[in-house]
Structure 1
């Protein structure tokens, strides 16, 4: 089974054109960070499914988690020093973007430094498909050992929490990951999309 075929199985409601257009960038990013194996491929695809819903880099939507009723969009992220938001307007400026929904000034700074790109100065770059693939991989690499340990234990909730910080989209993540497991042998490795 090709990576694209497996991604379609994992994300059956996703437009196939989006998978065809974006999966090569995800695979390239995983390759760049030496994460091109079955567990990290399944982790990536299931994460993209629940973080974007459409398998392409997107801006975070306004929701009750980031915007108070009647308040400015993403203002609930303002002053969140735990994600590095220390300046007025940081919530909107460093809202979630990309395949992994990179959020917060500190994450933009750290991942940008790992990639050698000025994400903090130009956060919209996180929605460029090529850079979004690299960002996804760098984000996973940062927690690689913990993610791999959680996956090896079958703790998909723990693996998901390492990316999202909570359980948002957990049921869909688990369902997609399990579909990927059922449709690929344990020694499967992604090649070209």
Structure 2
């Protein structure tokens, strides 16, 4: 897989510099020497295109600059995401649950273009952290969502950050699905994004339907793809987890699944 970064020299770097300049991002001298000017211009281009702004011309940056063919972008690893491979990422999960629920998840990841290894691992590790059963489930009662003498999920009722408007919003829009979608704001946003109109607002239980839960997972991760990949590029699994969960809940399961997946999911099919 082609990659150009600071310190490299040659014709490929010169082509990169020419394309950056043609796009309005001046790297300075077009001399085939990948220095600070080229790096700064590339970062500016990446920010403009919504790419990971790491100053490294990887497959997607090169494709965006028309210096690589679409086939050279991150390879599709979904064909290697088998029940057997996923079961190794979920060592405590009944295999029947994986057989039943893996298809709606991989179908949704394909629909949203999340077929490269980093995002596939992110999706599977997120499921392990949120619902190790590999089934879309509804959030249960805990001290984090219900006060000692309160009604179920009363601590969520008035969470303005979740868009909740008081009882019964806390219970109505509690966490559901593979990703534990939570709060009126998210139910409204992703209901519209998935083309369901007011479906998730009128019937929040739909978020636990496997087909819809798979699409919710993919849509949520797609919205955070650039930030997630930046965290993964830096090897910061804690931050990648926080981008989805808002904290470190389930980080141990998330990290374990991700590391296992790095070994059992092939980089590409041959």
Bigger-Rg structure (1/2): 2
- Shift of residue 172 of structure 1? 1.2
CA deviation map 1:106-150 (0-9, x unaligned):
000111111011212211100000000001001101111111111
> Larger RCO: Structure 1 or Structure 2 (Cα < 8 Å, ≥ 6 residues apart)?
1
Q: Residue in 2 aligned with 1:180?
A: 261
Aligned-partner Cα distance in 2 for 1:64–1:21? 32
Q: Residue in 2 aligned with 1:133?
A: 214
Matches within 5 A, 1:25-174: 25-117=104-196, 118-174=199-255
Aligned-partner Cα distance in 2 for 1:188–1:90? 44
Give the conservation status (yes or no) of the 8 Å contact 1:37–1:188. no
Q: How many residues align?
A: 188
Give the conservation status (yes or no) of the 8 Å contact 1:102–1:108. yes
Return 5+ residue gaps in structure 2 as ranges. 1-79
Q: TM-score, normalised by structure 1?
A: 0.93
Which is worse superposed, 154-163 or 176-185? 176-185
- Shift of residue 152 of structure 1? 1.3
- Shift of residue 79 of structure 1? 0.7
The alpha-carbon distance between structure 1 residues 44 and 85, as it changes in their structure 2 partners (threshold 3 A), is same
Aligned-partner Cα distance in 2 for 1:151–1:122? 35
Aligned-partner Cα distance in 2 for 1:36–1:23? 14
- Shift of residue 2 of structure 1? 4.1
Aligned-partner Cα distance in 1 for 2:81–2:191? 31
Aligned-partner Cα distance in 1 for 2:209–2:81? 24
Q: TM-score, normalised by structure 2?
A: 0.67
Give the conservation status (yes or no) of the 8 Å contact 2:81–2:265. no
CA RMSD in angstroms comes to 1.2
Aligned to 2:205, the other structure's residue is in SS state: helix
